[in-house]
Amino acid sequence: MPHPMPSLGSFSLMLALALAFYTLFAGSLALWAQSSGRQLAVSPLALGETARRAGIACFWCVSLAAFALVWAAFTNDYSVDYVLHHTNRDLVTAYKFSALWSGQEGSLLLWAWLLATYGFVMRLRHKVDIELTAHASTILAAIQVFFLSILVFAAPPFAIVPGGVAPKDGFGLNPLLQYPEMVIHPPMLYLGYVGFSVPFAFALGALIMRYPGEKWIHITRRWTMVTWLFLTCGICLGMHWAYAVLGWGGYWGWDPVENASLMPWLAATAFLHSVMMQEKRGMMKGWNVWLIFITFMLSILGTLLTRAGLVSSVHAFAQSSIGNWFVAFLLLTAIVCLFVFFRNRDHLRAENKLESLVSRESSFLFNNLVLLAACFTVLWGTLFPVLSEYVQGSKVTMGAPFYNKVAVPIGLFLLFLTGVGPLLAWRSTTLRTIRRNFVLPCVMIIISAIALMIAGVRPWLDDDKTASIYSLVCFSLSAGVITAILTEFLRGAGVVRTQTGKNLLASMWLLTRRNTRRYGGYAIHFGIVVMFIGLAGAAFNQSKELEMGFGDQLRIGSWNLVCQSFSQDSNPNFDTDYALIDVFHNGKKITQLAPERRFYTASQQTSTVVAIHSTLARDLYVVFEGRNPQTDRPIIKVFLNPLVNWIWVGVLIVIVGTGFALMPPLKPKRATEPAAIEGGVHA
C-alpha cells in the first residue's frame, strides 16, 4: 500500500532541490550576462525574475516537506523510519513536534526549511537593492542546493521502514529531550546558525559585484543582529536546559556540541563590533568580510560537529556518515571565499587610518583580537582530541579544567574591554577624557575587591584557588564596568535633562530613543556583565548527597531539607519515582520540592526531573538520584548554587538591549547614504 504523506514529502524535497538548482543556475547566468554584456536568448532581467520566483517556490516545497513530516508524526505513521525512531503513540503533542529535529534527518530538514524561509523573506524584500539581493539570493540558492542534496541523497527523512510494514508503536523520544525548552531551543539555535547564511550571502555578493559604499552593511545589519540574538537565545536556552534536565548542577560543560554553538557566536560578536569601524570610518573592510565568512563557516562546522559525530559528545543526539558532505562543502566554501577575496581585494582598501592607539578604533581591534582568540581556543579545545589521536595515536580529554585555565582569562580580558571600549572616543581620546571616565570605575573595582574579601572571598584559603581568584577578579571588574556604563549613561541623561527640563527618568528614555543603537549596545554590555556575575557565582557552589528516609534531614549552608515521603507513579509514557522534601531556612518552612526520576517505557531510558527553589541570590537544586537497591531508600543530591539566576536575567537584558539597538532612532540619521542601484537583475 503506498504511503501518501511520505511520498508527498519526498517528492516536495526533490522538486525543491530542482528549484534551488534552477535559482542558482538561472541567477548566475543572468548576473553573468548582465555584468559581461553578453546576449542571451532571454533578457537577463526576465531570467533573473524567474530565478527569484523559483527561489520563492522552493520555500513552499520545503515547507510542504516539513509539513508532511509533522503530519506523519502526528498521525503515528510508523512506516516512516524517522518517525518510528523518534516518536511513539503516548508522546505528548508538543514533543511529537520537537521530535522532528531530535534526529539527524529531521534537523537537516529544519535547517533547509529555515534557510528557505530566510531566502523567502529576502526575495520578497528584493526591491531594497535589486542587484545586490540578486547576488545574495543566488549564493543562498547554492547553500540550499547543498542541504537539499543531503536530504534527497544522503539522509532522506521520508525513508520507509525496511520491509515496508509499519510497527504498531514507535521507539519514543530520548527522555532528555522531553522538556519544554527542547521545543524552542533547537529552532532558536538553528535560526541563529542558518541566519548567518544571509549576511554571508550579502557579503560575498557585495564583494563579487564590487559594491560601492557601505550600504550593503546597513542592509545586512538587521539580519546579522536578529540572527545573533536568535543564537544568543538558543545558546542560553541550551544552558538552561542542561541546568534543569541533566541534573549535575551546572549549565556549561564545555562539551563539543556546546562549543560548536559558541564559536559562531564569538565570531559574529566580533563582526558586530568591527563592522562599526567600516560604517563610521571606512576601515577594516577586508577584515569584516572575513569575519562574516568565518562566522558562516563556523555555523556549518557546528552543524557538522553536532550531526556528523566528528568528535564524541554526551549530547550529540545524531551521528552518521554525512560528515564527508559537510567537509567537502566547507572546503568548497573556503576556496570560493579565498578566490573572490583575492580577486577583489583592491576594492576593500580602507578610507581612513588609525590616528591614536588610545581610541575607539584600537579598542575594537583588541576586542576583535580577544573574541577571535576565545573562538580559536574553543575550536582548538574541541578539535585537539582528533589532532592528538592523529599525532600520538591516543585521544585526550579536553574537559573543564583546560577551558578554565585557558578560556576564562581571555573571557575576563573581554569583560575588561566591555567596560573600557565604549568610553573611548573615536579617532583619539584625550588624557582628560580618560581621567574623567575611568577614575570612578577604578575606585569601584578596588572598593568591591576589598568588600568581597571582607565578605569572605579569599582565594588564598580556598581549595580551588584558581576559580576563587577568577571569581574575585570577575566580580570586581563587573562592578567597575557597571559603574562605567551607568556613569556614562547618567552623564548623557543629565545633559538631556538640562536641555529639555524633563525629569531624570524621562531624560534617560529620551536619550536612549535618540541613539537607540548606542544605548542598546550599552544595555547589551550591561546584560553581558550581569551574566558574567552569574557565571562567577559558580566558584562558590556547594553540594551534598544523602540517602534519605522519612524524616531524615540534610543540611546545606543555612538550608535544612527534611524528607516527608517518597512514592511512585506511572502513566502510559513513563514510570516515576519521586520524593517530597520540605525546605526550611532559618527554621522557617519555605517550600516543598518534589524531585523525580523517570523511566520512559518506549525508549527504556531514565531521566531526572530536577526540583529547584530559585531566588536571585541562589538556587537550591535538588536531584532524586534513584533508590539504593539494598535499602530501597531515595538518594538525594542537593546543590546550593549562588547567583545562577543572574545569568538568565542577563540574557533578558541582552534581549531588551538588542531590541533597542534594532529600533530606529528618534531623530533621522544625518549622514547621507549612497543611492540604491536600481533596475538590475532579480534572482
Partner 1 sequence: MRNSQLITRDSERESNLAPQSSKPKARSSKRLFTATRLLQLVLVLFTGITMLGAGAPSPSTFNTIGHKLMCPCGCGEILLECNHVGCPDSDRMIGELRQQLSTGIGETGVLNWFAAKYGPTVLAAPIRGGFDVVAWIVPFAVLLAGLIAVFFVVRLWKQRQQPLAEAGAAHAPPLNDEQAALRERIRRETEYGE
Of residues 366 through 395, those in contact with partner 1 by CB under 8 A are 366, 369-370, 372-373, 376-377, 380-381, 384, 388, 391-392, 394-395
Integer Cα distance of 616 and 597 in angstroms: 27
Block residue for cell numbers 525543491: 16
Q: Which is nearer to partner 1, 130 or 267 (CB)?
A: 267
Least separation in angstroms between CB 159 and partner 1: 29
**Phi-psi map region of 489: left, alpha, beta (phi>0 left; psi -120 to 50 alpha):** alpha
Tell me if 415 contacts partner 1 by CB under 8 A: no
Least separation in angstroms between CB 671 and partner 1: 6
Integer Cα distance of 473 and 680 in angstroms: 55
Looking only at residues 226 through 285 of this chain, which bind partner 1 when binding is defined by CB under 8 A? 247-250, 253, 255, 276, 279-280
Backbone dihedral angles phi then psi of residue 528, each to the nearest 5 degrees: -65, -40
Residues paired with residue 559 on neighbouring β-strands, in sequence order:
556, 585
Binds partner 1 (CB under 8 A): choice among 124, 626, 674, 675 = 626
How many other β-carbons are positioned within 10 Å of the β-carbon of residue 136?
32
Q: Which is nearer to partner 1, 89 or 627 (CB)?
A: 627
Binds partner 1 (CB under 8 A): choice among 222, 343, 349, 405 = 405
Least separation in angstroms between CB 52 and partner 1: 31
Cβ 123 vs Cβ 133: under 8 Å: yes
Least separation in angstroms between CB 312 and partner 1: 8
Tell me if 397 contacts partner 1 by CB under 8 A: yes
- Select the span of 34-42, 124-132, 191-199, 400-408 touching partner 1 (CB under 8 A): 400-408
Looking only at residues 307 through 326 of this chain, which bind partner 1 when binding is defined by CB under 8 A? 313-314
Binds partner 1 (CB under 8 A): choice among 185, 307, 360, 497 = 360
Tell me if 517 contacts partner 1 by CB under 8 A: yes
Tell me if 442 contacts partner 1 by CB under 8 A: no
Distance from the first to the final alpha carbon of the chain: 41
Least separation in angstroms between CB 564 and partner 1: 21
Q: Which is nearer to partner 1, 27 or 249 (CB)?
A: 249
Looking only at residues 454 through 483 of this chain, which bind partner 1 when binding is defined by CB under 8 A? 454, 458, 460-465
Q: Which is nearer to partner 1, 182 or 276 (CB)?
A: 276
Tell me if 668 contacts partner 1 by CB under 8 A: no
Least separation in angstroms between CB 290 and partner 1: 14
Tell me if 518 contacts partner 1 by CB under 8 A: yes
Output the CA torsion sign for 112, 115, 119, 120: positive
Q: Three-state SS across 536-601? A: HHHHHCEEEEEECCCCCEEEECCEEEEEEEEEEEECCCEEEEEEEEEEEECCEEEEEECCEEEEEC
Looking only at residues 585 through 624 of this chain, which bind partner 1 when binding is defined by CB under 8 A? 623
Q: Which is nearer to partner 1, 380 or 509 (CB)?
A: 380
Integer Cα distance of 390 and 64 in angstroms: 44
Around 244, how many Cα atoms within 13 Å sit in the side-chain half-sphere? Answer: 17
Nearest partner of 619 among 546, 559, 551, judged by Cα: 559
Tell me if 93 contacts partner 1 by CB under 8 A: no
Tell me if 396 contacts partner 1 by CB under 8 A: yes
CA distances to 430, 585, 617, 644, 650 from 647, in Å? 36, 24, 12, 6, 5
Integer Cα distance of 576 and 257 in angstroms: 29
Binds partner 1 (CB under 8 A): choice among 140, 398, 474, 609 = 398
Q: Which is nearer to partner 1, 276 or 683 (CB)?
A: 276
